[in-house]
A and B are shown apart, each in its own frame.
Chain A
Amino acid sequence: MFFKNLQTMLKDNIREYGMFIALFIIMGIFTITTNGLFISPRNISNLINQTGYIAVLAVGMTLIIVIRHIDLSVGFLAGFLGAVVAIALSSWGWSVYIVIPFVLVLGALAGLLTAYPVAQLGIPSFVASLAGWLIYRGLLLLATAGTGTIIISDPVFNAIGNGFIPDIFPNRGFVPDVHIVTLLLGVIAIIFFVFSAISSRKKEQAYDFEVLPPDMFILQLVFVAILISAITWTLAGHNGLSWTTVVVLLVVGIYHFITTQTVLGRHIYAVGGNPEAAELSGINVKQMTYVVFSSMGMLSALSGILFASRLRSATTTAGTLFELDAIAAAFIGGVSAAGGVGKVTGSLIGALVYMSLTSGMNLMNVDIAYQYVVRGLVLVAAVVFDVATRSRGK
């Protein structure tokens, strides 16, 4: 009975679980090939921090692809805005608390600029954003002209990409060398997850919706609880939760909420699912295009901030290929190019899969040439898997 239930559950949800399974397989393989180095707290912490600036782009790109567009300009936009941050902090002497909102607004405006020819004139977003790619690349070179690299010395700013949340009981608690606040947050997360899962299950039962059988439901809860525990324990063993992780979790959380619970989110997915039907249902398709592109621009700015902070500087090559990494992460995460389908949480996992490959292969000292080939193969495999399972889904 148990195994039969397990089988049907896996079969019915193969699309959603597929990415998790892929992530575990990839992590497992690297753990073996690197003699456990891959799974070490330090590496996992690093991996998550490296994923940060791609993950926020992938979240924005998810919505762009959902409304059947593409944005190639985001990589160099992130790089250029990172340079703006560096200049504002080091040359203009602005406070970090002014610089960050300023750059986020600049990003949102840049997004509106990309959206204008797309929404107003019907120019393909590929072309409009390719123009942006060229322009921002040029601006990045201009901004970093001279020294080539702009060093950022602001400690608060640099903490975003390198720092960790403070611990209230540093190195004192009942377990030495473990980050207590991180553990506490992990426990809270588990409790929150369990409670919300139970309450939503109850609600669904009240409406006679199909729910998982009880044993499978418990299995799912246990599985997620173990997963969260494992991640928190690993991170607590290093320096704890990094600020980058906090930022990424916030972004994913907010976007997940917007896409699943709000009118705005519903309108965006409606436009992606059938623009004509959406327009005739009173949804302003142009307006949605502006909203989604400007959110993408703002997330590009955030990505630029995370990257500049991580490197403690702005460089001439910052942002190179970010856009393609973000697009790949979104597709690995299950976004459909046909529009209307894709979750931001999926794209986060997609970004993790993608960066795990890079990190693992780097630890194994795999030649960069082969790394590209492997990443390409994984992308193809993910998309083929997605298409193959889609027809079977509900």
Chain B
Amino acid sequence: MSTPILEMRNITKEFPGVKALDEVSFSVATGEIHGLVGENGAGKSTLMKVLSGVHTYGTYTGDIVLNGEVMHFNNISEAEEAGIAIIYQELALIPEMTVYENIFLGHEIHNNMVIDWNETIKRTAEILKRVKLDVNPATKVRDLGVGKQQLIEIAKALHRDVKLLILDEPTAALNEDDSENLLRLLREQRDQGVTCILISHKLKEVINVADTVTVLRDGQTICSLDAEQGEVTEPMLIRQMVGRAIKNIYPPRESQSASDEVVLEVKNWHAYHPKLGRDILEDVNFSIRRGEIVGFAGLMGSGRTELALSLFGNPYGYLVSGEMQIKGQPVKFTHPQDAIRAGVAYLTEDRKGAGLILIQDVKENITLANLQEIAKRGVIDNNAEIKVATEYRRSLNIKTPSIEQAVVNLSGGNQQKVCLGKWLFVKPDVLILDEPTRGIDVGAKFEIYTIMNDLVKQGMSIIMISSELPEVLGMSDRVYVVASGKITGELPIAEATQENIMQLATIE
């Protein structure tokens, strides 16, 4: 093993209230492919942001040593100059520009500010050959598939003489052929001397290409496994990724409230995303009974949110096919309005972006989805509205100076309770909660769990989408695991463990 190209020593990074990285040490040898794995929120992305200058020098503690030299990056371009390139999951290409314009964007070849297009195109052709991509340099990027776009991102990094290439979930959006192609390219680049850090949830592919794998968990380095010193296996990695005691406390459920009555049944559900140009859900089948909490586990991007949205009136216009039944009646929703009327509610994972109207007050947000209930002939009864809002403020314990407070001023936990209040007011039979406790503090989490228990006791059915395994295990009666747009397993809670869920969630 050669000398390390990169050493990150004792990196600690804190956000208000959270320690995202806790004394993380991470070492990458020159000329290797280094896999970096861990659960959502384990700190992988934060670590890479520290490395690439997104979190600037001084906002973290610890040292970054590149080629034996301690680096202080004050911005992203300084990291780029030092030879570090990071390729994010969301591609940073400009769709309306051509391949060559994209590759040289920000590094144009010019004579006195006049761009030399001939030279640009010539050089682009050479670089494209290096990544084995056979496209015309004058093609617009938007006319290329995601796989090819990914290669162009790599080409863009390579022409800048990158020494350390970081790929964040590069294959998440790719089909099998494109993934394979990309991984082959990575190996070739390694053999030509480019060092590469690969972040991926797909453990199989990490094991396939990586020379070393580092596992992060809860902001700490758990271990670094060297493939030369013994075989790295999936169960091994999974154990390291999840191996923690469940320390969060979940309120106990007094009795089993689940009945045999099936409230929601979905059969042969498919969805195609027209903008991405691929299937996002394939052959999904599941059913929900009255009074149960069903966990939908899986990794980010596995298709759980898309599944929920496609059931909830399909507001983003996926092409959906399949059968959906509510209490035995087949239903077809063309707008969230239809779903709400039929008794389905969906609490979004994106509280601020798609859940709340931040400039409006608590009362207006709570009543928004069911104004008919408090209106007569289209005129809102202000007293009724105040009564409703006051009631939910009390029962959900929303901490706000007044129900006329704009929700933008509330804390995350209280904003989430306002969202929850909005959906409880429509009195649904099936409540879909998408990451219901993301970004809120422990106390508010416990309150939300308690509310969920109360709701199922009253006969509501809850679908809980969550990326936090302890939460899934602590709250669910039953667990479905979703991976790559498919349901890869159904586990009764008695049989579910972090290990077997993770196993099912990382199936390709």
Contacts and interface: CB of A to CB of B under 8 A. Distances in A.
A209 B402 contact: yes
Interface stretch (B62-70, B137-145, B152-160, B354-362): B354-362
B421 to A, nearest CB: 12
Interface string A272-294: 01101111111110000000000
Contacts of B386: 207
A282 B406 CA distance: 21
Interface residues of B, number: 38
B489 interface: no
A281 B369 contact: yes
Contact of B357 (A209, A210, A277, A282): A277
B364 A277 contact: no
A7 interface: no
B360 A263 contact: no
A264 B378 contact: yes
Contacts of A264: 378
A369 B371 CA distance: 50
B375 interface: yes
Contacts of B404: 209
A394 B364 CA distance: 15
Interface stretch (B164-172, B226-234, B271-279, B333-341): B333-341
B368 interface: yes
B346 A282 contact: no
Given A266-B371, A267-B371, A281-B336, A273 B380 contact: no
B256 interface: no
A76 interface: no
Given A210-B402, A277-B354, A340 B390 contact: no
A270 B365 CA distance: 9
B368 A266 contact: yes
B357 A270 contact: yes
Nearest to B337: A282
Nearest to B336: A282
B484 to A, nearest CB: 25
B353 interface: yes
B380 to A, nearest CB: 6
Nearest to B312: A280
B360 A273 contact: yes
B245 interface: no
A71 to B, nearest CB: 23
Contacts of A269: 360
Contacts of A282: 313, 335-337, 339-341, 369
Given A263-B372, A273-B360, A274-B356, A280 B336 contact: yes
Contacts of B328: none
Contact of B368 (A209, A276, A281): A281
A42 interface: no
A258 to B, nearest CB: 9
Contacts of A274: 353-354, 356-358
B371 A263 contact: yes
Nearest to A207: B386
Contacts of A209: 402, 404
B453 interface: no
Contacts of B270: none
A280 B368 contact: no
A277 B390 contact: no
A280 B357 contact: no
Given A270-B360, A274-B356, A340-B359, A280 B383 contact: no
Given A203-B383, A209-B404, A262-B379, A278 B357 contact: yes
A222 B340 CA distance: 48
A308 B368 CA distance: 41
A321 B109 CA distance: 47
Interface string A318-340: 00000000000000000000001
Interface in B360-404: 360, 364, 368-369, 371-372, 375, 378-380, 382-383, 386, 390, 402, 404
A261 B380 contact: yes
B505 to A, nearest CB: 26
Contacts of A280: 312, 315, 336, 346, 348, 354-355
B44 interface: no
Interface of B: 312-313, 315, 335-337, 339-341, 346, 348, 353-360, 364, 368-369, 371-372, 375, 378-380, 382-383, 386, 390, 402, 404-406, 409, 422
19 contacts: A203-B383, A209-B402, A210-B402, A262-B379, A266-B380, A270-B357, A270-B368, A274-B356, A274-B357, A276-B353, A279-B336, A280-B315, A280-B336, A281-B340, A282-B336, A282-B339, A282-B340, A282-B341, A340-B357
Given A280-B336, A281-B340, A282-B335, 17 more contacts: A261-B380, A262-B375, A263-B372, A263-B379, A264-B378, A266-B380, A267-B371, A270-B364, A273-B358, A277-B348, A277-B355, A277-B357, A280-B312, A282-B339, A283-B337, A340-B359, A341-B359
